[in-house]
Amino acid sequence: MKLLLEHAHVEGIRYYDAYRKHGGYRSVEKALKMSPDEITEEVKKSGLRGRGGAGFPTGMKWSFLAKPEGVPRHLVCNADESEPGTFKDRYLMEFIPHLLVEGLIVSSYALGSNLTFIYIRGEYAWIVDILEQAIAEAKSNGWLGKNIAGSGFDCEIYVQRGAGAYICGEETALLESLEGKRGNPRIKPPFPAVKGLWGRPTVVNNVETLAAVVPIINMGGEEYAKIGVGRSTGTKLMSACGNINKPGVYEIDMTISVEEFIFSDQYCGGIPKGKRLKACIPGGSSVPILPANLLLKTAKGETRYMNYESLSDGGFQTGSMLGSGGFIVFDEDQCVVRHTMSLAHFYMHESCGQCSPCREGTGWMYRILKNIEYGKGKMSDIELLWDIQGKIEGNTICPLGDAAAWPVAAAIRHFRDEFEWHVLNPEESQTRNYGLAHYADPVYVPAVS
């Protein structure tokens, strides 16, 4: 089922005329006849959950927005998509920018934001032009500016480029950066819904979340909630990469199994060269890595599905998270230690340096992992890594500390023998990879034809 990417391959969908011809801006027409609270109610009914990673119900987030008299409110679109493995927003903004603009207009109306910002990561320089053109087109066709479609609602959208910091994807760091300051996360509370951009009530939402508002308004919240399963409603964009035949962005309706997603030709198309599945990070680099045997089936032996609940089944002991949908697949030739090291390097590089556990701990973890990877590790290093990640997790200002700790913790939890092999065979580990061990089912037969 496709809601967001339905017309993604239509010729010229990037431009207003083609977009409008395929039903674009219908949701704005419909929304402006509704009251803002009715829109929020529809979003609540739809069960839409934040697509940026945390999965917080969007309707609830909107209803938390403080509405004091005489104080402007803002909507900020978080397009600072910097998570390794996640590139779904890029696809959406690059090919159907009007969908985001449309979602922003509807959401701005619902939240009462006359001044709305898109904070986009600096590396997406060419997308800024695409978005600005889309905004200009929308404006010249009367969907933005003063008194939109005779409703009396004014709205302007501005695109602001970041300067290349992962941390600015954290909503309060994003607001600081948008205000022109150093992108350090703020200490919460107060939350942005009360004191956000320039101290005004602010909602920060992911690109995909805001785009999903369009089909919700078009089809109604209740209809939208029928798609998917349980609390995972609607469709989700997955950006699949790694050792698969067909890397790319896929829209799924969260009822398919992980097995189907990896092996069916409709989606990732299996693993190249007939190699076997070793592990997978199902939701962007920050979420725990899962070995193949726990990925396809939960610890209870049930099939694992591509949705929020099923992927997090078993907690961090035997599960992971859907996160932002950066699906990274590892085949049997990949080294988990090396992979964990490169992730640790990423988090060391991207830590803002504000609070001590994250600033010092991320670098420490990277150096230990580097030693282990290059055959200089000790057995005690593995225990030490475990201890350090435990001291970072939960003790930092923002979730970057957790995001740095979880991959290391999961790698040690599930792949401890690979770490031990690296320590015990320092020379051999430089020449070959550990391979599969017991992580994958050795006689695996794809169940999906």
Choose one: 24-32, 65-73, 201-209, 353-361; the region binding other proteins (CB under 8 A): 353-361
> Smallest gap, in angstroms, from Cβ of residue 419 to other proteins?
17
Distance CA 422, CA 372 (A): 6
Q: Which residues contact 376 (CB under 8 A, 6 or more apart)?
A: 426
Instruction: Look at residues 248, 311, 259 and name the one whose alpha carbon lies nearest to residue 49.
Output: 311
Given a contact cutoff of 8 angstroms between Cβ atoms, the answer to whether 352 and 360 are in contact is no
- Residue in 60, 187, 424, 447 binding other proteins, rule: CB under 8 A: 187
Footprint on residues 386-415 left by other proteins (CB under 8 A): 388, 390-392, 394-397
Instruction: Look at residues 422, 52, 414 and name the one whose alpha carbon lies nearest to residue 212.
Output: 52
Q: Is the dihedral of CA 163, 167, 169, 172 positive or negative?
A: negative
357 binds other proteins (CB under 8 A): yes
> Smallest gap, in angstroms, from Cβ of residue 369 to other proteins?
12
> Smallest gap, in angstroms, from Cβ of residue 353 to other proteins?
4
Distance CA 20, CA 337 (A): 49
Nearer to other proteins, 190 or 435 (CB): 190
194 binds other proteins (CB under 8 A): no
- Residue in 192, 361, 377, 407 binding other proteins, rule: CB under 8 A: 361
**Cis bond leading into 192, ω under 30°?**
no
> Smallest gap, in angstroms, from Cβ of residue 166 to other proteins?
10
Distance CA 415, CA 382 (A): 11
360 binds other proteins (CB under 8 A): yes
Nearer to other proteins, 95 or 386 (CB): 386
How many Å separate Cα 25 from the centre of its chain? Answer: 25
Q: Which residues contact 64 (CB under 8 A, 6 or more apart)?
A: 191, 193
Strands of the sheet containing 236-242, edge to edge, are 248-252, 236-242, 326-331, 277-281, 290-291
Distance CA 384, CA 328 (A): 27
- Residue in 165, 214, 290, 337 binding other proteins, rule: CB under 8 A: 165
318 binds other proteins (CB under 8 A): no
Residue type, 441: D
348 binds other proteins (CB under 8 A): yes
Choose one: 14-22, 281-289, 290-298, 354-362; the region binding other proteins (CB under 8 A): 354-362
182 binds other proteins (CB under 8 A): yes
Instruction: Look at residues 118, 96, 116, 97 and name the one whose alpha carbon lies nearest to residue 106.
Output: 116
177 binds other proteins (CB under 8 A): no
- Residue in 23, 199, 353, 446 binding other proteins, rule: CB under 8 A: 353
State the residue for tokens 């509704």.
34
> Smallest gap, in angstroms, from Cβ of residue 356 to other proteins?
5
352 binds other proteins (CB under 8 A): yes
22 binds other proteins (CB under 8 A): no
Instruction: Look at residues 127, 103, 128, 72 and name the one whose alpha carbon lies nearest to residue 206.
Output: 103
Nearer to other proteins, 383 or 428 (CB): 383
Nearer to other proteins, 10 or 384 (CB): 384
The site for other proteins (CB under 8 A) is made up of: 165, 167, 182, 187, 348-357, 359-364, 367, 384, 388, 390-392, 394-397
